[in-house]
Amino acid sequence: MRLQVRAMRTIYFDNAATSWPKPKSVLRAMSDFFLRGGGNPGRSGHGRSIGAARVVVRTREQLAGMFNVRESSRIVFTKNATEALNIAIYGLAEEGKGIVTTSMEHNSVMRPLTYLRNRGYEITAIKGDGTGRVNPEAVARAVREDTNLVIVTHASNVTGTVNDIGAIGSMCRERGVSFLVDAAQTAGVIPIDVEEMKVDFLAFSGHKGLLGPQGTGGLYIGKDQLQLPLMRGGTGSLSDREEQPDFFPDRFESGTLNVVGIAGLGAGIEYVMKRGIESISGHDETILGIFIEELSGDGRFVLYGPFANIRGDGCGASACRMVQTGVLSLNIAGVSPSRVGQVLDREYAIQTRIGLHCAPSAHRTIGTFPDGTVRLSWGPFTKKGDVRHAVRALRSIADRYAELQ
Amino acid sequence: MFGKPKRNKIDLRDLEGVISFFGSHHAIRTEGLLKRNGIKAVLIPGPREISPNCGVALRFDWQRKGEVVSLLKEHLVHYEDVHYYPEQ
């Protein structure tokens, strides 16, 4: 089957959903695995099996290096950040204990928590401010004696607002509460150090900032009390026994892994490390700066997010130097986001994501529920020319529609 | 990384030690660890007589067993056992 792609050059502004394009090395690593490797890792001692296992170990160690994880076997592969979050949430929820989270979470956190709430678990969601930022002190105040888990998104997928993970992590460590971070929007885009930021569990996506293919993600498991994996099954280890292995990473990796995806993910991480996370976040910031400069003075545009205090904030840790990822949510006064998104796509070939972005609670927080916003999200391959084109398109849509209201 | 099977210059008969593991992750990491320390090591299908635990085991130069064991300890490697198991 051939994909039908319009002849017109498209401009991709939906990197927060999945990054595109990927470095060519990602494709090469995947085809190399298919053409020359192709074995099942850890199942046999022949060359293809060992080659596949080497691919998996190499990517695991690259991730460990990126997140400063001391023991790489503590990183387990999943099919996406959602699966990683589910493993952590259901593995940590305890009857009679409370969970504290924020109103800025994606449904990958909200839906499992709502399921738990309906079964009698106490869930507290701390509301972010109008820019989407969550006050670490408010989180600290909500943590009580019976709280055993705090879940915070590193950055909102709606506004790009970066939370002060280090401050919340230190508080959790002091109070003896487990800390789970959703890094779906930040892995590969903002430096993450699980030791410095005192993160116990880190869920990440492989196909966004890490530039790997879809179907990849993972979970760092820094504490032993994570209960029962969601799945049990074959691991290639302890094959004479019918109980699930209790050691890492096998305990949490039942069934054949997505090795071809993991091969691509390894190449994506290599690209990110070579180019440098700092350089990528600097690029993201530059593009945000252009959008803000071009659109913030124009009263027809409503922009969401903390960009106003960019580089301010008094937040010392290197990791919260950046206050907004490469994401900008906006609306044109009086025009529905779906209309803006449709015109951008059909007339300008600019691909954005409109609506609620699987995060209704975050939209309630910034006051854009139920219509949502138009979200533009960029990545390491977005060019300044793309931004100028998007700005011109947005202005012309505003010219046409904003005054009609 | 996959390549053609290397016509290994290493004669497995010279590597009389075998480390058994619980999982392949640790076997592969240990291969790298020994090689980085200049110790000959080759991954092999895990011999059933030694352990049913993992599909992959690591042959190494038994004469350097002392160094190997201290490296395993120093790097907190999760391994099952170290065996004297010459090629049959």
Choose among A38, A57, A71: nearest Cβ to B28: A57
Give the residue with greater pLDDT, B12 vs A116: A116
Query: Tens of pLDDT along A215-266?
Result: 999 999 999 988 877 888 888 888 778 888 888 999 999 999 999 999 999 9
| ω into A21 cis (within 30 of 0) | yes
Query: Tens of pLDDT along A160-204?
Result: 999 999 999 999 999 999 999 999 999 999 999 999 999 999 999
Instruction: Output the pLDDT for position B31.
Output: 95
- Look at residues A152, A160, A258, A150 and name the one whose alpha carbon lies nearest to residue A209: A160
Instruction: Kindly determine whether residue A250 and residue B25, on different chains, have CB atoms separated by under 8 Å.
Output: yes
A vs B: CB pairs below 8 A: 92
Query: Tens of pLDDT along A1-21?
Result: 556 555 568 999 999 999 999
Instruction: Kindly determine whether residue B2 and residue A49, on different chains, have CB atoms separated by under 8 Å.
Output: no
Instruction: Kindly determine whether residue B45 and residue A45, on different chains, have CB atoms separated by under 8 Å.
Output: yes
Choose among B5, B52, B56: nearest Cβ to A240: B52
Judge whether A49 is closer than 8 Å to chain B, CB to CB: yes
Q: What is the largest CA-CA distance in chain B?
A: 34
Q: Given a cut of 70, is residue A311 above it in pLDDT?
A: no
Q: How far is CA B41 from CA A32, B11, B14, B61, B69, in A?
A: 25, 11, 10, 7, 13
A402 — pLDDT class (breaks 50, 70, 90): confident
Instruction: Kindly determine whether residue B28 and residue A53, on different chains, have CB atoms separated by under 8 Å.
Output: yes
pTM of the full structure: 0.92
Test mutation, A31, A50, A57, A241, chain B, max B CBs within 10 A: A50
Query: Tens of pLDDT along B33-69?
Result: 999 999 999 999 888 888 777 778 999 999 999 999 9
Instruction: Kindly determine whether residue B5 and residue A47, on different chains, have CB atoms separated by under 8 Å.
Output: yes
DSSP three-state, residue A87: helix
B8 — pLDDT class (breaks 50, 70, 90): low
Instruction: Kindly determine whether residue B55 and residue A43, on different chains, have CB atoms separated by under 8 Å.
Output: yes
Percent of chain A with pLDDT over 70: 94
Instruction: Output the pLDDT for position A309.
Output: 40
ipTM: 0.82
Average pLDDT over residues A41-51: 86
| Nearest CA distance, A250 vs chain B (angstrom) | 7
Instruction: Output the pLDDT for position A6.
Output: 52
Instruction: Output the pLDDT for position B4.
Output: 58
DSSP three-state, residue A365: helix
Instruction: Kindly determine whether residue A249 and residue B23, on different chains, have CB atoms separated by under 8 Å.
Output: yes
A38: phi then psi, degrees, rounded to nearest 5: 95, 0
